[in-house]
Structure 1
Amino acid sequence: MKLYFAPGACSMAIHIALRETGVAFEAHQVDLATHTLTEGGGSYFEISPRGYVPLLEFDDGSRQTEGSALLQYLADLDPAQALIGAPASRRRLGVTQWLSFVSTELHKTFSPWLWHKETADSTKRDAKLKLAARFADMDSHLATREFLAGDYSVADAYGFTIVNWSNFLGIPLSDFPHLRAWMDRVSARPAVQQALRAEGLLKD
């Protein structure tokens, strides 16, 4: 299996899940500014016509995208399904609910609006206000639990990856102590540390 990723991008959630489940994979870095492969310089569009990450290439050569779908697939590779829960269980409902929340309420509020210099200031302000409201919701939720859906899950890997963008964009989390504590708990996991280090985001 091959993972195509960009450091710190949403693909990091897939990177974390691969390491959590122990699935063997090769990591191939993509420069999203030029849509080229870091090693060899080939065009990433030849691999992914949409040009974005993550992308998983399977041993038969087939390729799949879309982070929340890939996270569910990877979680199911573990026979115990510890990162997602059994089909039709309340645990799985809780995890997939949070995957949807992160995808629609966080991911698509951060991106593309806050990453592009040409975005109007008024749009950036509205996006930051919406994020603050969602962070407050998460902070309240995490006041009484360690992780988003009870035990640690792929939803935490995805949520951590996206909320971590606040560090790149200079968005403070000082008003959300429970959210910050959750970020610290997720960050401390060995698989997360390994992914951060492999992507050059954590120095020894």
Structure 2
Amino acid sequence: MKLYYSPGACSLSPHITLHEAGLKFEHIQAPTKTHKLDDGTDYYSINPLGYVPLLELDDGTRLTEGPAIVQYIADQVPEKKLAPANGTVARAQLQAWLNFIGTEVHKGFGPLFNPATPAEYKTMLIAKLLERLQWVDGQLAGKSYLMGEAFSVADPYLFTVTNWADFVGLDISGFANIAAFRERMAARPAVQTAMREEGLIK
């Protein structure tokens, strides 16, 4: 398999998940500004949408969208219990977390990285993000991970998007449960390996 990623982007979530799964894969950097791979390949020829992540399977099938990719990875190694079984209430709850992070948190960060976004709009987005993260902080009370005591593929996604707070001036230091969750995640070997491969830590 091949994972196309950009350092620190949302592709960090499946990057971590692949290491948690123990699957063999090649990680290929796909800069989202130049869209040129190291070998000169135009990334648009691989993913016409131009963004990451993209997971290319051994048969050439290409999967996009992080929440879909991480569930696919989890289903390849059911013994690792990275996701509840399909058709269960717990699986629906996992999908609810992935959807919430994607639509209520991840999506809100995008305009904050854009210098052209009006300051007034950024202020509104930050207020909304803080509301959503306050709710997440409450949901993490008494839990090690989003789904309880067991790690799931939703956790790398939350870890990834909360990593962006410092880069956009979003102070999340007051969310004690999120802070504890982030420390717990940062200590996981798979997280450290993925971040090292992306040049995010030494």
Provide the TM-score with structure 2 as the length reference: 0.96
The answer for the alignment partner of 2:18 in structure 1 is: 18
C-alpha separation in 1, matches of 2:78 and 2:184: 25
Show the 5 A alignment for 1:27-42.
27-37=27-37, 39-42=38-41
**RMSD of the TM alignment (CA)?**
1.1
The residue that corresponds to 1:189 in the other structure is 188
Q: Which amino acid aligns with 1:91?
A: A
> Alpha-carbon deviation of 1:184?
0.8
Deviation at 1:41, TM superposition (A): 2.6
Aligned residue for 1:127? 125
Distance 1:187 1:137 in 2: 22
Q: TM-score, normalised by structure 1?
A: 0.95
Aligned length: 201
**Equivalent residue for 1:63?**
62
CA displacement at 1:93 relative to structure 2: 2.2
Deviating more after overlay: 45-54 vs 165-174: 165-174
Q: 1:136 — aligned with what?
A: 134
Q: Deviations over 1:14-54 (max 9, x none)?
A: 100100001110010011111111x2132111111100000
1:124-155: per-residue Cα shift (whole Å, max 9, x none)?
Answer: 11110011001110111112211101111000
> Percent identity, aligned pairs only?
46
CA distance in 2, matches of 1:27, 1:160: 19
1:147 lines up with 2:136 in the alignment:
no
What pairs with 1:86-165 in structure 2 (closer than 5 Å)? 86-111=85-110, 113-150=111-148, 151-165=150-164
Q: Which residue of structure 2 aligns with residue 73 of structure 1?
A: 72
Note the alpha carbon deviations across 1:75-129, whole angstroms, 9 max, x for none: 1111225111112223212211111110111111111x11110011111111100
Q: CA deviation at 1:161?
A: 0.7
After alignment, is 82-91 or 23-32 more displaced? 82-91
SS of equivalent residue, structure 1 residue 158: helix
Give structure 1 stretches of 5+ with no counterpart. Answer: none
